Amino acid sequence: MKTIAVLGAGKIGESLLAGLLDAGRAPAELMFTERYSQRAAELTGKYGIEHVDVPTAANRADVLVVAVKPQDIDPLLDEVAPLLGPDKLLVSMCAGLPAKLFERRLAEGTPVIRVMPNTPMLVGEAMSAISGGAHATDEHLELAEELLGSVGRVVRVPEQQQDAVTALSGSGPAYFFYLVEAMTDAGVLLGVPRGTAKDLVVQAAMGAATMLRDGPENHPALLREAVTSPAGTTAAGIRELDKHGVRAALTDAVEAARDRSAELGRAHD
């Protein structure tokens, strides 16, 4: 069994640790780094996983999962670079940062896998897109799929698609939260109590997502048409969405997020 170190135990890092434990990993196979001692003590008490410093993690772990913010990557790489090589696997969950950034800083031959997860990892429903760097093999990718499969679904994509994946899947939950917030506010405007409005909208979203994923018919346009009766209430609502350019606005939002992801990568070139 591989020993895994999660570098950065924020919400995403903690969720991965919890998912690995639920999937059958022993606490002794896991370790984590965390700059705040109170947070580290909390996680060790909760999960029984050892808190270590970064050099110890780099020395002892077979797989290092980097779960820090992109702006914190440079000092972290300064610490781990002298300690990594082809016998270790680095899995980066840093938005926007390409595999070649890590490969430039690490010993020649160090395998790197770039991952774009999203926050539904907190409830075991993540969508993680993975791409192998120059030295990552199918075995490395399979190991990453196994680890990330403990907290949701995993898909392989070419790395050149990762900025678009970041915009669609990494940022995607925020767009849905935004829509639920707006629809809830609309319900309040129409006289529905806020708690009831939220419950109605959230369950509609849950049901719609389940139909898209698990239903016999899962094409969004066909599902929308099935709800949209001629001259009915849904048709009136869709007309207003089209009038206000909601489809175009969503396209612009995804493109803006894609461009920002690319900027984050270029900032470290």
Give the start-to-end residue ranges of the domains of the chain.
4-157, 172-264
Q: Please give the pLDDT value at position 191.
A: 98
* One pLDDT digit (tens) per residue for the chain, 269 residues: 689 999 999 999 999 999 999 999 999 999 999 999 999 999 999 999 999 999 999 999 999 999 999 889 999 999 999 999 999 999 999 988 999 999 999 999 999 999 999 999 999 999 999 999 999 999 999 999 999 999 999 999 999 999 999 999 999 999 999 999 999 999 999 999 999 999 999 999 999 999 999 999 999 999 999 999 999 999 999 999 999 999 999 999 999 999 999 998 888 76
Q: Are 62 and 88 in contact (CB under 8 A)?
A: yes
Q: Which pLDDT belongs to residue 186?
A: 98
Residue carrying the six token digits 């849905």:
176
Contact 159, 108 (CB under 8 A): no
Query: Domain spanning 172-264: which CATH class is it, in words?
Result: mainly alpha
pTM of the model: 0.91
Closest to 184 in 3D by CA, of 167, 166, 210, 203: 203
H/E run at residue 154 = strand 152-156
User: Coil, strand or helix: which one is 216?
Assistant: coil
Query: Is 63 within 8 Å of 143 (Cβ atoms)?
Result: yes
pLDDT confidence of residue 269: 66
Q: Are 40 and 9 in contact (CB under 8 A)?
A: yes
Domain 4-157 has CATH 3.40.50.620: no
In the chain the beta strands, taken as DSSP E runs, fall at 4-7, 30-33, 50-51, 63-66, 89-92, 112-116, 126-132, 152-156
Q: Left (φ > 0), alpha (ψ -120 to 50) or beta: where does 228 sit? A: beta
- pLDDT, residue 2, reads 86
Residue 65 near residue 41, CB atoms below 8 Å: no
pLDDT of residue 262: 92
Per DSSP, helices labelled H in 81-193 are 99-105, 138-148, 162-165, 172-189
